[in-house]
Amino acid sequence: MPFDPQFDDFISSEKCKAYFASDGGEKVKGKTGGFHLLWGDGVKFVDGQTFGSRRKIKARGQVGWVEQSDLGGEPLLELYFIDVGQGDGVLIRTPDFRHIMLDGGYPRKSQPTGKSAADFVDWKFNKDYGHNTIVLDEMISSHIDFDHYGGLADLLAITPDTSDDMDCTAITVENFYHSGLSHWLAHSGTGAGLGPTKASSGKKWFTRLLSDRQSAIAATTNNGPQAKGEWGKFVRLMTETRNATGQPSAINRVSQNTNWLANYPQGSITAIRVLGPIEGTVSGSPALLRLDSSQSINTNGTSVLLRIDYKKSRILLTGDLNQKAHHALLELHQGEEEEFACDVGKCCHHGSEDVSMEFLGHMKAACTVISSGDHEGHDHPRPRIVAASGLTGYRTIKEDKIVTPLVYSTELARSVEIGKPEAVKAGVGASSRTFAAKQLDEVQVSYKKVASGALRGSNEKASLDVAMLVHKVLYGLVNVRTNGSKILTATMNEGDRSFAVKTFTSRF
């Protein structure tokens, strides 16, 4: 059964404000103003209270009063493109409250902010839904790069003892899906890496694939070839996870031969099509196409490629696909390239330039979302790809203004409030000492700096006369919501935490 958050109603307006006070003016427990809600947000009624045209509700973990005219909505298909810095993390919620987690960024220990996608999912279930258990119908690792599955490992490691500063204390997962490519330790005379390859039909193929639950257990229990490093630890966590009935979670490999994801078949209200990676057959066994001699091109190029169809709207989730993968996919789907067309597309590989313009032209996304981070060595998103997303996007003009294409970047949507220390008080009581601004060179702070993706931080020191204080981080979450015809995109404004909203209509 799908998860039931037991909402009483849903927001029908594109955006609205919930006031802390019934009349919108008086202070309530020291708070004034209110908080902001979006189309499709679920609300719970509080004690049946009304005041004039307003009703008391609880939403997003807060209690407030909304205009009753803003209610009367319906649950939508919602996608949350989470700001995980360098990496991907997408939470998908279907109108019947099935939850699909696709990637999760680097793990928290390897994040400069100490946050991964796990933190947002924790907020969603605990604060928004009011539950202590995260309930996922599907967890999908698009491929085997750490900036995609690391945050998923954070989620799977949640227990009452290890939840750290997260509020949920348990997780259930019904199904795991992955591409099949794996990091392997050296085995039986073969070197470590992505495993052996074999030529067939003029192409090379990876022949050692991770597949089902039995395969995952064997790959983590010294029974044959072993999954390597952090990826191996994540695979082990998969095998230890349970579903809502307490049974072991299912584990399965997907490819274009999967066609439609189990439980989301063609013709259903929410259907999910698997378009990649590219699977072939070598000596009677499944194999994955080897794209290049470069390991990174192969790991990225075998990303799981998903298309979500909800009524008339289509969303394409591309992982870290690259130009060679695009060319191979176009060859595979020759004559049916419309399969890649979408209203909303996740930009391939965080805005890398290694993409095919022809492939983007077939996508023709009205809205492109780039999951980009602060890793300066990557310098994502690249200017040419921001431009390409606009050039190849579906164009709509209304009243001499552009409606689509839209291009979002999680990094560009993020903001940080920074302040300069002016005084420091150390100690308590009579023994305390206050350092004024001109004395802050006497105060030295030791801290740990974590570079994006680093497994260990570096120990640093700075005096407070040159240090800056991060007051608040507003994460660059990109909301995408649709009722199957109208599509809404939204990011949060830094100043008052309201939403900047754009809407457009599906073309399918």
138-174: pLDDT as tens digits: 999 999 999 889 999 999 998 766 656 789 999 999 9
The residue behind tokens 């907020």 is 123
Q: How many residues does the chain have?
A: 508
* Helix axes 146-156 and 229-240, enclosed angle (nearest 10): 40
Cβ-proximal residues to 498 (8 Å cutoff; 6+ apart), any chain: 15, 17, 36, 492
- The pLDDT score that the predictor gives to residue 3 is 86
Question: Same topology for domains 9-75 and 77-411, yes or no?
Answer: no
Cβ-proximal residues to 401 (8 Å cutoff; 6+ apart), any chain: none
% helix, strand, coil for the chain, step of 5: 20, 35, 45
Model-level pTM? 0.91
Cβ-proximal residues to 266 (8 Å cutoff; 6+ apart), any chain: 259, 260, 273
Which residues are paired to 486 by β-bridges? 505
Task: Give the pLDDT band (50/70/90) at residue 472.
Answer: low
261-300: pLDDT as tens digits: 999 999 999 999 999 999 999 999 999 999 999 999 999 9
The share of the chain scoring above pLDDT 70, in percent, equals 89
Question: If residue 118 lies in a helix (H) or strand (E), which one and from where to where?
Answer: helix 117-123
Task: Give the pLDDT band (50/70/90) at residue 25.
Answer: low
Cβ-proximal residues to 214 (8 Å cutoff; 6+ apart), any chain: none
Question: Is the predicted pLDDT of residue 375 greater than 60, yes or no?
Answer: no
Q: At the topology level of CATH, where does 9-75 sit?
A: SH3 type barrels. (2.30.30)
- Superfamily per CATH, domain 77-411: Ribonuclease Z/Hydroxyacylglutathione hydrolase-like (3.60.15.10)
For residue 227, the number of C-alpha atoms closer than 13 Å in the C-beta half-sphere is 24
Tell me which DSSP letter residue 348 carries: G
Q: Which tokens hold the place of 1?
A: 């059964």
478-505: pLDDT as tens digits: 999 999 999 999 998 877 888 999 999 9
Domain boundaries, the chain: 9-75, 77-411, 421-467
Backbone angles phi, psi at 71, to 5 degrees: -95, -170
Q: Is 198 helix (H, G, I), strand (E, B) or coil?
A: strand
Distance, in Å, from the CA atom of 362 to the CA atom of 348, rounded to the nearest integer, reads: 14
Task: Give the pLDDT band (50/70/90) at residue 77.
Answer: very high
Distance, in Å, from the CA atom of 465 to the CA atom of 278, rounded to the nearest integer, reads: 56
